[in-house]
A and B are shown apart, each in its own frame.
Chain A
Amino acid sequence: MGVWAKNSEETLQKMAHMMIEMVPFSKFLSISVDKVEHGKVFGCIAYDERFETEQGSGIIHGGAVATAIDNLSALAALTLCVPPQPLVTLDLRIDYNSAPELHKDIYIESECYRTTKNVSFVRSLAHNGDRENVIAHSVSVFMRAQTGAKGVGL
């Protein structure tokens, strides 16, 4: 596998499918992936009354947003792993920049900006559809599984 080896388009789609369908908790929160590219992922967490911070507040709880960010950041890091391998979250930092618009879905964009042999670094932002009004900004670090560990089956 050369330095410039890339995962095929088909593998990327499979990864996106797996990250949602094979992860019970992201299905539970109905997190979706809209678009997946090399190192970049666009996803969404749909508004649901059950995720509210307070009854009738119309605001999705920070914990649910954190889950979506964690999940989509991991997928962004995975797209640059050749061959695909399991990833473990080491550290996740989120800054909540502004309150979200009420009763609205939250869109998340994740970008893996650096990958080394052992770790991947990802930054993400969350917004209500307008990239200029950021709800949350996040930086996360993922550990790549040791070589020889069980693959992810792609």
Chain B
Amino acid sequence: MTVLFYNDALKSIPYAHMLDISALEYNDDMIFKLPYQEPFIGNYMIQALHGGVLCSFLEIIASVTAKIDIQLDHMPKIINVNYNFMKPALGGQDVYGRAEIIKSGKRILSVSATAYNSLEGNPLTILHANFLS
């Protein structure tokens, strides 16, 4: 059921629609999928995805998770964000992501999100962001 709420929230973001991001349930966990597309490539030589694709994906899933989990009626506003790039995301492979609220205060939400090539694998990029609810 809840997967519908996430997908509805994603549908309201034109940029998420453009990147074709979707939510799915996996072992009682909510995960997000970014299907591979050729225009996402950032480096032809090593056939890796552009860092910006992962930034966009993570920021979208972090804000959607914050919105649904805290039951906000609007998208939270982003204040600051930090991305750590661990490993290049290789072309031809879909990217999956998980987001988690670290702390939700009265006004500030602290969220972290991680992108993977496979859920058992090593993280590709980690986001840590603060939102104004």
Binds A, one of B25-33, B80-88, B94-102, B104-112: B80-88
Binary CB contact string for chain B from 21 to 57 against chain A (1 if under 8 A, 0 otherwise): 0000000000000000011111111100111110111
Q: Does B75 contact A (CB under 8 A)?
A: yes
> Which residues from chain A sit less than 8 Å from chain B, CB to CB?
22-29, 49-55, 61-64, 66-68, 70-71, 86, 88-96, 99, 150, 152
Question: Nearest Cβ in chain A — how far from B12, in angstroms?
Answer: 6
**Given A24-B42, A92-B82, is A63 in contact with B56 using a C-beta cutoff of 8 Å?**
yes
Q: Which residues of B contact A150 (CB under 8 A)?
A: 45
Closest to B50 in A: A25
The A contact surface, by secondary structure, is: mixed
Main secondary structure of the interface of B (DSSP, over half): mixed
Contact of A88 among B39, B58, B85 (CB under 8 A): B85
What's the tally of chain B residues with a CB closer than 8 Å to chain A? 36
- Which A residues are in CB contact (< 8 Å) with B51? 67, 70, 89, 92
How close is B90's CB to chain A, nearest CB, in angstroms? 14
Q: How far is the CA of A99 from the CA of B77 in the complex (A)?
A: 9
Residues of chain A with a CB closer than 8 A to B85's CB: 88-92
Contact B56 A55 (CB under 8 A): no
Contact of A23 with B50 at beta-carbon distance under 8 Å, contacts A51-B18, A67-B55, A150-B45 already known:
yes
| Given pairs A64-B56, A66-B55, A71-B52, 5 additional interface contacts (CB within 8 A) | A23-B43, A28-B40, A50-B14, A52-B13, A67-B52
Give the one of B14, B77, B82 with max A CB within 10 A. Answer: B14
Chain A residues within 8 Å of B56, by CB: 61, 63-64, 66-67
Contacts of B84 in A (CB 8 A): 90-91
> In the complex, are the beta carbons of B41 and A25 less than 8 A apart?
yes
Given the complex of chains A and B, what is the CA–CA distance between A91 and B55 in angstroms?
11
For A67, list chain B residues within 8 Å (CB): 50-53, 55-56
Closest chain B residue, CB of each to CB of A90: B85
Inter-chain contact B15/A51, CB cutoff 8 Å: yes
Q: Which of B14, B52, B83 contacts A55 (CB 8 A)?
A: B14
14 residue pairs from A and B, CB less than 8 Å apart:
A24-B41, A29-B52, A53-B75, A54-B12, A61-B56, A62-B81, A63-B56, A67-B56, A88-B88, A90-B85, A91-B83, A91-B84, A92-B55, A150-B45
Complex: A54 Cα to B11 Cα, angstroms: 9
